[in-house]
Each structure stands twice: as structure tokens, then as C-alpha cells.
Structure 1
């Protein structure tokens, strides 16, 4: 297979590129040149957000293109239209955020969607992803595959969610742990996303697929326990009631990654119906493996994870954590 990867040097794009190379595919990576792509690819430079930035893609034919873009939908529109006659399939890595909020538990791919336009020059995340979907569909029709990913973690993560928990647990001591302990979590290892996506290309799948683990892949307790085991830490989780955390001004998801208190927001993020993807071959590795491999990667790069400049820095400030812990003891 001849694959054109738009990006391919960081996180999702890098995992897909690595998996394609492992399959023996011919991979071309189109990127801005800010990070080195893996060995073995053809590297093309360009900035799709700049005028004339697609010149390097003016020629060439590929069996499939994979696009992870989350900015202006017009950038997806422009590249999709440019490639429509020279590429077999367009794979757009979208997001479950395209569903109108709040998404009820068990929502499948037929759920109501946010408004979006392929012509938008800028948009918030959810309408931008929907606009990107519409751009891919507009140029490729039934040759487009929409991968509506949930929470993505694993090696190469440049958002910081799992790296923050691993780093905090490794520091040891009393750790503010957001309850309830048995709160179910739903996420996907980036490598499992890559495998399923390229399998889907080979199978000629089309249309939308929710792509994340089955619900209750693990729990908050299971996640923190796995972090303690792999880091060898003496960390002591202090399980804290959700209402106490909210009353203390702790921001779910951002200050305590993964965690959303029980209710509407949690159900929207962690109770997705993934039966369609499972029927199409989705397999998710044990969460303990994801945690262990992410820790090994972190250590290999010196313990400091990369950070996307267009995403907020996650994690709870140590001083604020200590203050909330003291309040729990009072």
C-alpha cells in the first residue's frame, strides 16, 4: 500500500506512520519540518495553513491518505480537493466531540451532530472536526473513512494526560485521587487506533466509526494502581468525594486528567457505544500495558513529555493539591 500521512511526526500521526512502516507499506509524510519523521519514509515539507503550502503535494498518487488535522476545516477541504483524483481513500481522524453535547450513554454513530462547515477558516474544536468530516466527504464521498476517536493515550502523547499522572505518582507521597474509585474510564491506546485504522484501509471501510475502548476499560482506581506499580512509587492515593473536589475549585479533566465526576459529562466521555468498531476488528490492549509502555517511553526521553502548543497544559498545581489534601484531613 502507498500511504500519504499528513503529519506523521507526533503522537497519532507518528503511531500510524510507525505501524504502516511495520506492514511494509510505502509511506510519504507531509509535514512542516518541525520534528524528524521516522526513518524509511519519503518526507515532503509544507505548511497547509500557509498560502501555497501544498505545493509539495501537487504531484503523486497514493492508495490512501490519513489526516489528523484539528484546525480550520478549510485546510482539510483544500487538501482533500487537491488529492481527490490521485488518492484512493481519505481517512480523517475525527473526534467524538462532533456529537451534540451532552451525548447520552451508549450513543452510536447515528447520534445528532454539531454544526460545521468545510469552508470555515477557523472554528472551535467540535465544529472544526465536524467541518473536517464534511470536507473529506465532500471530496471523497463513500471513499472517506471518519475515525471518531475518544480519549487517546500512550507513547508519544503530547497532550500530557497520562504523562502527568505517571509523573505525579512517581513523585510519591499522598496523592489527591478523584473518586469514586470504581469510576469507569474509556480510552484507546494510540497504537491500537493505528492498527485498527490501517486495517480499515485494507478492508475498504467507509463512513463514521466511534473508536475508543469499550466502556469500563479500567477505573480511576485501576489507572492509579497501574501507575504506582510501573513507577515503583510509594504514592498513597487519598480518595476524595467528587463534590468535595468541585467545592474546592478543582477542575475536572484539566487539573485531574481523565476524571469527570459521575453524571452527564462522564457519561458523554466514558460511555460510548463502540459495537460497530468492535465488529470491524477493534482490539484494545490491557490498560496496564498502555501505562507501562508510556512510562518506559517517558523515561527514555528524559521524563519530560512534549506539549502541543494549541492545547492547555494539564495537571494540578502541587500547592493546590496540598491545600485540598489538608482540607480533607481537617
Structure 2
């Protein structure tokens, strides 16, 4: 494969995917609405087609004029959009859909592509755009990928959990980096052993390309850090990257209540462990970035940005009330 169309490629996952494709000598075309700054505007290796991915006419025109070998669909959130795209790009060598670990409908450890059931999706959920139906819609999008493969399209899905790294507009990890950077005492919800699978964004990008090149049509592939760390270990990694020492203070539900806080007020906290098996992707030759290296790059990018993640978690005043209570115990 020599050419790629990236549907949505200027913000986070798509941005890193374009970098990865260019590093592997692909000719790249972006398809975006043009509402955000294009980081590749001055790169003559990257073409740009402006349009709305929900507009089938615009996608059909792009399929004709660009004629890509591989299509990477980073911004499809409703099943109808995947069904349209797999029809429009049916003759391409690969269609790879960016799905989510949220598509899994049963809590088990680990979640495996060919064993763990997906969420159901009703007709109403399929056309919704709220966070409450995100997992349902992603699951139905995956089923649309599988149906397309049954019809002869080389369509595949990649399922990441929480993605982190440079240019992360969600600022979930930024909240924690900011806490460690600013304060010498960091409040940890629960006992610190909370386990939620995460994945470094550059590893998602390489996985997407590798699946396009070597994946099996009709298959889904989990992508996640090959070594998992608890929430407390993640904070320790951040502190190491910042070359600082912090005191980690644990607070359970009763202690957090002193600040009108709850465990799930904290970004990246999840009550039940969320772990994806990545063996299937690794069998294609994929490897993940060492955690220390991934965090080092993430922290460096945070320090160069104006992101603080403040909207993602508790304010410090509420935490200070909890810390004050804990000091008296």
C-alpha cells in the first residue's frame, strides 16, 4: 500500500497516525471539516480535502479523486456512517475503523476480541450522540465493519482503551500531571490499586497502520499498553518524569465525602478493572512503547502546552478539605 486517506487527522489519534504513515512513506490525504488548525498545512506530502464525514456525497467524491489504498476512519460515531464508508470505499485494500474498548458489554478480565460480548445497540441508541450510548454505538459500528467484511470488503476495527500522549485534547492525563507538578501532596482515590488500561497514542497509530497492512478482514484488534500500571504507579511515573517527590495520600469514599467528592470524580479512575488482551495485535508484530518513554513524552508535551485538565477532576479546595480531615485521623 502506498496511499492513505485519514478521515479526521488533525487533532489527536489521527494526527499521530499521519505522522506514522509519513514515516512509512505513505502518500497521505486528510478528510476533515476544516474547523481546526491543520498541523500539516505546510507539509507538501499531505493533501487535504475539506468535507463532512457524514456527507456521503463528499465521501464518494473523495473516493473517486483520491482513490486511496487504505482508509482510516477516526471520527465515525454512528453505525450509519460506518455502513456508508465501507460501501463507498469497498474497493480499497483496507478500511480500518477506530473503535473503542467501550464497545465491550461485559466486565471480565481481560476483555478478548473473539470472546467478550459487545454491547447491544437499539435503533434509538444508534442515532444518539450522548456519552451514555457511546459504547453501544461503537459496538454497532464494529458489527457494521464485520458485515462489510462478510460482503468482501477488507474492513477491520481497532479498539483502544483510554488514549494518552502529546496533543491529548481530553486533558485527562493533564489533570494528574498538573497535580504532581504543582503540589507536594497528591490525593489518590481509593487504595491506589485501581487498574484501568490505557494506551499511548503513537502505539495506536502504529497499530492502525499494521492492521491495515497485515490484519484479517472482519477482525477486531485491541490495542493497549503491554505493561499495565495502577493509578498510584502512574502517578509515580509522572513524578519521576518531573523529577519531583510527592506524598501520595489515599482517600476512600468516607474521607472523600468531607470534600463532597466521590471516587469516580477523579479522571482515569474506574471502579472495576478495565483490561484488554493485546495478544492478537502483538501476533501481527506490533509492540508498545516502554511506559517510561511514553510518559516522558507525555509530560514534556504537557509542560509545553497550556493544558491543565482542571475541568476533568476535583478542584484543589475540595481536596484540601479532605486532606485536612485525614491529618486529624
- Following TM superposition, by how much is the alpha carbon of 1:298 offset from its aligned partner in structure 2, in angstroms? 2.0
Q: Are the aligned partners of 1:73 and 1:122 in contact in 2 as well (CA < 8 Å)?
A: no
Question: Residue 231 in 1 paired to residue 242 in 2?
Answer: yes
Q: For residue 218 of structure 1, give the secondary structure of its aligned residue in structure 2.
A: coil
Matches within 5 A, 1:97-176: 97-101=102-106, 103-109=107-113, 110-116=115-121, 120-123=126-129, 124-141=133-150, 143-176=154-187
The match for 2:22 is 21
The counterpart of 2:189, out of the listed 178, 181, 194, is 178
Structure 1 unaligned residues grouped into runs of 5+: none
- Following TM superposition, by how much is the alpha carbon of 1:10 offset from its aligned partner in structure 2, in angstroms? 1.1
Q: Are the aligned partners of 2:82 and 2:145 in contact in 1 as well (CA < 8 Å)?
A: yes
- Following TM superposition, by how much is the alpha carbon of 1:249 offset from its aligned partner in structure 2, in angstroms? 4.8
Q: Are the aligned partners of 1:228 and 1:235 in contact in 2 as well (CA < 8 Å)?
A: yes
The match for 2:98 is 93
Deviates more, 1:180-189 or 1:220-229: 180-189
Question: Residue 257 in 1 paired to residue 275 in 2?
Answer: no
Equivalenced residues, count: 314
User: What whole-Å deviation, never above 9, does each CA across 1:95-145 have from its counterpart, x for those lacking one?
Assistant: 1111114x2112311211112379933352012112222333334445111
TM-score by length of 2: 0.85
Q: C-alpha separation between the residues in 2 aligned to 1:25 and 1:51?
A: 25
Residue 205 to residue 243, structure 1, CA distance change in 2 (3 Å): farther
Deviates more, 1:205-214 or 1:2-11: 205-214
Q: For residue 327 of structure 1, give the secondary structure of its aligned residue in structure 2.
A: helix
Question: Residue 273 in 1 paired to residue 277 in 2?
Answer: yes
Q: C-alpha separation between the residues in 1 aligned to 2:137 and 2:164?
A: 21
Deviates more, 1:230-239 or 1:106-115: 230-239
Q: For residue 273 of structure 1, give the secondary structure of its aligned residue in structure 2.
A: coil
Q: C-alpha separation between the residues in 2 aligned to 1:93 and 1:108?
A: 17
Question: Residue 319 in 1 paired to residue 317 in 2?
Answer: yes
Q: C-alpha separation between the residues in 2 aligned to 1:284 and 1:220?
A: 19
- Following TM superposition, by how much is the alpha carbon of 1:193 offset from its aligned partner in structure 2, in angstroms? 1.4
Residue 164 to residue 70, structure 1, CA distance change in 2 (3 Å): farther
Q: Are the aligned partners of 1:69 and 1:93 in contact in 2 as well (CA < 8 Å)?
A: yes
Residue 118 to residue 297, structure 1, CA distance change in 2 (3 Å): farther
Over the residues paired in the alignment, what is the CA RMSD in angstroms?
Answer: 2.6
Q: Are the aligned partners of 2:259 and 2:321 in contact in 1 as well (CA < 8 Å)?
A: no
The match for 1:240 is 251
TM-score by length of 1: 0.85
Q: For residue 237 of structure 1, give the secondary structure of its aligned residue in structure 2.
A: strand
Q: For residue 222 of structure 2, give the secondary structure of its aligned residue in structure 1.
A: strand
Question: Residue 203 in 1 paired to residue 214 in 2?
Answer: yes
The counterpart of 2:307, out of the listed 294, 298, 304, is 304
Q: Are the aligned partners of 1:170 and 1:232 in contact in 2 as well (CA < 8 Å)?
A: no
Residue 144 to residue 50, structure 1, CA distance change in 2 (3 Å): closer
Deviates more, 1:54-63 or 1:285-294: 54-63
Structure 2 unaligned residues grouped into runs of 5+: none
Q: C-alpha separation between the residues in 2 aligned to 1:118 and 1:35?
A: 35
Q: C-alpha separation between the residues in 2 aligned to 1:13 and 1:260?
A: 26
